Copies of this chain bind each other. A is one copy, B any other.
Amino acid sequence: MYSSRTDLAMESLDAHNSFPGVDVHRWEESDIQLSEVVVRTQEAAEVLDKPCGTYLTLECSLLREHDPDARIAMANLLGEELSRMLVPSQDAPVLVVGLGNRGVTPDSLGPAAIDKTLVTRHMLGSEYAHSGMRSVCAIAPGVLGVTGVETVEMVESLAQKLHPRAILCIDSLAARDSARIGCTVQISNTGIQPGSGVGNHRRPLTKESLGVDVIAVGVPTVIYAATLARDAFALLAGEDQQEEALGAMERELRNTDLGNLIVTPRDIDAIVKNCATLIAGGINRALQPNLTSTEIAEMMD
């Protein structure tokens, strides 16, 4: 049966302001709505279909208008929150991984953000290094069909070689509510789960599989067509006929390829470009606390 799939823990939790085994805090900072969902028990994890851990959501509807002030405010806040999640600085590098497929616009956020991430590991010790610069490396491992190598195999093997202090994965997400596309950033300390993301990862990228802290940063860029259909039906059918209507929909849709369809805005190219700038901005601030924004910008140009 089609379920209402979302990669946002906040949406899984939905209207529930409280739920056993889940702590929720909501607040606002400079026009940004923040929600922190902490899933504490295995029961809650199963109901929400999200593993135990912390999920922080930053939301700002002005982002959809490509408001540059909103983007800078979001990037700053993202930088602060990422810093809090990272283990204290050591000499070991942070490995940033841009998940997804450059060839499918709504799945290209990860690779696009990697292109704007300041990579420094190769410069440390050279004349180009600023003092206080921290070690960062970054890869966009591509998709299985192009390389024949699973993303997790590539990241795991590289992690065994580079011994990073943390892995930071960037991915395109699926939401339930179209209003969240391009406006919401989710950070979590639970890594990437199988079946999540636009490209649907087959195997987990987690502390368990990779042996190092894995922080995931994502922005919803699509809704699954099946989710959209199911939610629309539930809404319209009214409470008393809901079950019946959903049953009818499931029967009707069983023979379609709805499960393979994604729903995305027409201007997804501009959304991905804008969000990649935002995400990379936040990451660069978090990973280079000793460089100013101007220094970072100059090194990226």
Contact = CB atoms under 8 A, between A and B. Distances in A.
A178 interface: yes
A109 interface: no
A242 to B, nearest CB: 13
Given A179-B257, A252-B235, A260-B267, A121 B139 contact: no
Contacts of A232: 229, 232, 249, 252
Given A158-B157, A229-B232, A277-B301, A178 B147 contact: no
Contacts of A268: 104
A245 interface: yes
A178 B298 CA distance: 25
B93 A122 contact: no
Given A119-B145, A137-B148, A236-B245, A266 B104 contact: yes
Dominant SS at the A interface? helix
Contacts of A122: 144-145, 148-150
Interface string A253-287: 00011101111111111000110010000000000
Given A229-B232, A245-B236, A263-B225, A147 B119 contact: yes
A144 B119 CA distance: 9
Given A257-B179, A265-B260, A154 B145 contact: no
A95 to B, nearest CB: 9
Given A148-B121, A160-B160, A301-B274, A261 B269 contact: no
Interface in A200-214: 200
Interface string A110-154: 000000000111100000000000011111001011111110011
Given A233-B236, A252-B236, A298 B68 contact: yes
Contacts of A161: 153-154, 156-157, 160
Nearest to A72: B298
Contacts of A260: 265-267
B262 A263 contact: yes
Contacts of A249: 232, 236
Given A145-B122, A156-B161, A269-B103, A248 B264 contact: no
In this complex, the member of A136, A137, A147, A267 whose beta carbon has the largest number of chain B beta carbons within 10 angstroms is A147
19 contacts: A71-B301, A104-B269, A137-B149, A138-B146, A149-B162, A153-B162, A154-B158, A157-B157, A157-B158, A199-B266, A223-B261, A225-B228, A229-B232, A232-B232, A236-B245, A261-B264, A262-B265, A264-B264, A273-B301
